[in-house]
Amino acid sequence: MSKPILVLENLHAAVEGTEILRGVNLELPPGEVHALMGPNGSGKSTLANVLMGHPAYEVTAGRILFKGEDVTELEADRRSRLGMFLAFQYPVEVPGVSMLNFLRQSLNARRDQDLKPREFRTLVDGKLKLLGMDKAFARRNLNEGFSGGEKKRNEVLQLALLEPELAILDETDSGLDIDALRIVSESVNSMRGPGIGFLVITHYMRILDYLEPDVVHIMLGGRIVKSGGPELAGELEAKGYDSVRKQYGEPAPQEEATAP
């Protein structure tokens, strides 16, 4: 079997001195779509940020291997150049910066070459067509006045252009997520293939209505407490996160060693 795209070994990470990830283990082979699910506050977004090398998060133990290479200490832009992609849960608005400019800069950085504006526009228009999006969309300013669904389409467009080998999609837990998840899932389903692995992070239990993950992981208290096939998402939908909490319990606080 070919090398996994992503391996997490006993990953621990802290924000402002508080340990949030407490030993995450995961293996994602190429071509697979993994869903990471879990209640609010379980550490899903923290994991996404740690994977992309967000400077506010400190890895305190364990390793992140991308295509066999230890990237635990690499800067975010190095990771993205290597082929890791993170769609932000709350994409920023950048008034006055056109999406075309933003996308071209991202792509040039990823490919380490300068595409001519015209070559780039041809490429973008091809992707827009493929995704069934309007040409005018990419001519707008970055996320300015975008609806939730449009922000998601923007992420999907970035994803299609950058052609990463690992895509980490962190879905919002807010009210727009059903629509957003549908948009993202449809594009994930259309982009999946042997050269790319997906880690789709969601709180939304009915994910199976949209996405066909190969593996479902459940995160609780900064650890993956259970992994399984798509049936796991169905089980969650039926029983809810409370049943997971009951079964695994929130990890107990560290107890002081007592003399026997």
Ligand X SMILES: Nc1ncnc2c1ncn2[C@@H]1O[C@H](COP(=O)(O)OP(=O)(O)O)[C@@H](O)[C@H]1O
Joined together, the tokens standing for residue 139 give: 């001519």
Q: Is 45 in the site for Mg ion (CB under 5 A)?
A: yes
Report the residue number, 83 or 222, with the smaller CB distance to ligand X: 222
- Residue 130 beta carbon to ligand X: minimum distance, rounded to whole angstroms: 30
Residues 54-93 that bind ligand X (CB under 6 A): 56
In a 13 Å sphere around the CA of 245, the CA atoms on its Cβ side amount to 10
Q: Is 41 in the site for ligand X (CB under 6 A)?
A: yes
Q: Which residues of 232-244 are buried (b: 16+ CB within 10 A; e: fewer)?
A: bbebbeeeebeeb
Q: From CA 156, how far away is CA 100, in angstroms rounded?
A: 14
Joined together, the tokens standing for residue 133 give: 């999006």
What backbone phi and psi angles, to 5 degrees, belong to 65?
Answer: -110, 125
With CB cut-offs between 5 and 8 Å by kind, which of Mg ion, ligand X, none does residue 15 bind? Answer: ligand X
- Residue 237 beta carbon to ligand X: minimum distance, rounded to whole angstroms: 18
Joined together, the tokens standing for residue 214 give: 């190969």
Place of tokens 């029983």: 239
Q: Inter-axis angle of helices 177-191 and 148-162, to 10 degrees?
A: 20
Report the residue number, 90 or 109, with the smaller CB distance to ligand X: 90
Q: Is 20 in the site for ligand X (CB under 6 A)?
A: yes
With CB cut-offs between 5 and 8 Å by kind, which of Mg ion, ligand X, none does residue 30 bind? Answer: none
Q: Is 123 in the site for ligand X (CB under 6 A)?
A: no
Report the residue number, 20 or 99, with the smaller CB distance to ligand X: 20
Q: From CA 133, how far away is CA 166, in angstroms rounded?
A: 23
Out of 5, 7, 46, 225, point to the residue binding ligand X (CB under 6 A): 46
Joined together, the tokens standing for residue 121 give: 């526009």
- Residue 97 beta carbon to ligand X: minimum distance, rounded to whole angstroms: 25
Residues at the contact surface with Mg ion, assessed by CB under 5 A: 44-45
Interacting residue ranges for ligand X, rule: CB under 6 A? 15-16, 20, 38, 40-46, 56
